[in-house]
Amino acid sequence: MKWMLRLYPAWWRDRYEAEMAALLGDLSHRARPAMLVDLLRGALDARFALAKESTVPVTGPSIRRSIVYALVVWAALSVDIVLSNVIFPSRQGDDTLIVVLDYLAVFAVLATIGFLAARRGTETAGIALCGAIAGAVIGLLTIGTFFVVDNVWLDIVSQQQTKIDGLARSGGGSMRAYINSGLLLGAVVLPAMLAAFGTVLAIGGGSVARWRSSRPRVLG
Amino acid sequence: MSDLGRFADPSILILTSLAGGPKHGYALIKDIEAFTGTTLGPGTLYAALARLENRRLIRSLPEEDRRRPYEITGVGVVALRAYLEHARRVAGVGLKRLAAYA
């Protein structure tokens, strides 16, 4: 009887198919023609009446949770930034490994946001929005942290070899102006980049959640 | 709840069931059967659940073993109480008037 669910519109299946399929499995021993008629009426209702209503009931809470996760990630990154730039600064500026690990951690969180949003029943568009917003928030606030750290502890940060080399390549001038112009560019590029990654990774995480919830389980 | 159309009755049954605690689809059908003798079809059940969720009268909880439980919200509690108190007043008047026929 689960084939009847194909009569429902895509947005409906996106939100309810997995749990309704589980329900039909529970009701399989009671299947009768009236149930087919009921499902047909439900499919018609979803296509013609319910479709006119708002159908994104769980997007709002999922977005709020995504922002909370983004704030936690930003707080962790801020601690990392202060530690690696102020408390234990590297004169050589060779922090490639830490930066790669930071990016991987952020990507993992963005995928997890999609996974959790899908488990809450958020639609694909809502999942993408959660990932994009989380990515943009992480990017924007992290640049904000860099702005504070680089300006408050300029005397420490300006000793990094990468900054010295960068200033020399830029033709000289003030270190503060050089750093802040880079941060200004970063304030545009980093949130946009993380929003794009967030969209893709959240959809990926959401797909994993749906795949896990729809695969048949072996009992016993 | 007057805007729920033909799903008003199933919606009341669902809210009444969820007032006893969160339940997934099959548990709702069994519980409603137990206290009304009425069996909701899966199409009717989910049409009503979607409407209740859209109106923030219920909310879905994290999935458990491919089944998603629902719980009544604060708004749902207020709406159900208002409906049931109105129904009790109507029932009281109706029963009193019917007493004349006894």
> pLDDT tens across B68-100, in order?
999 999 999 999 999 999 999 999 999 999 998
Which chain A residues are within 8 Å of B65, Cβ to Cβ? 217
Do B44 and A42 make contact, defined as CB atoms within 8 angstroms?
Answer: yes
pLDDT at A220: 33
Mean pLDDT for the stretch of residues A185-200:
95
Are B26 and A57 inside 8 Å of each other by CB? no
Residues of B in contact with A16 (CB under 8 A): 46, 50
Q: What is the mean pLDDT of chain B?
A: 90
Higher-pLDDT residue of B69, A48: B69
- The answer, yes or no, to whether residue A216 has pLDDT greater than 70, is no
Do the chains contact at B41 and A22, CB–CB below 8 Å?
Answer: no
Q: Is B47 close to A46, i.e. CB distance below 8 A?
A: yes
Highest mean predicted confidence (pLDDT) among A112-121, A188-197, B54-63: A188-197
Integer angstrom CA distances of residue A67 from A61, A63, A107, B19, B50: 10, 6, 15, 31, 26
Give the C-alpha separation, B19 to A21, whole Å. Answer: 25
Write down the pLDDT at residue A89: 78
Which residues on neighbouring strands pair with residue B67, listed in sequence order? B64
pTM here?
0.55
User: In chain B, what percentage of residues exceed pLDDT 90?
Assistant: 76
Query: Which residues of chain A lie closer than 8 angstroms to B59, CB-CB?
Result: 57-58, 61
Please count the residue pairs, one from chain A and one from chain B, whose beta carbons lie less than 8 angstroms apart: 93
ipTM of the complex: 0.86
Residue B15 vs residues B25, B28, B65: alpha-carbon distances, Å: 13, 10, 23
For A76-115, b where at least 16 C-beta lie within 10 A, e where not — what string? ebbebbbebbeeebeeebebeeeeeebeeebbebbbbbbb
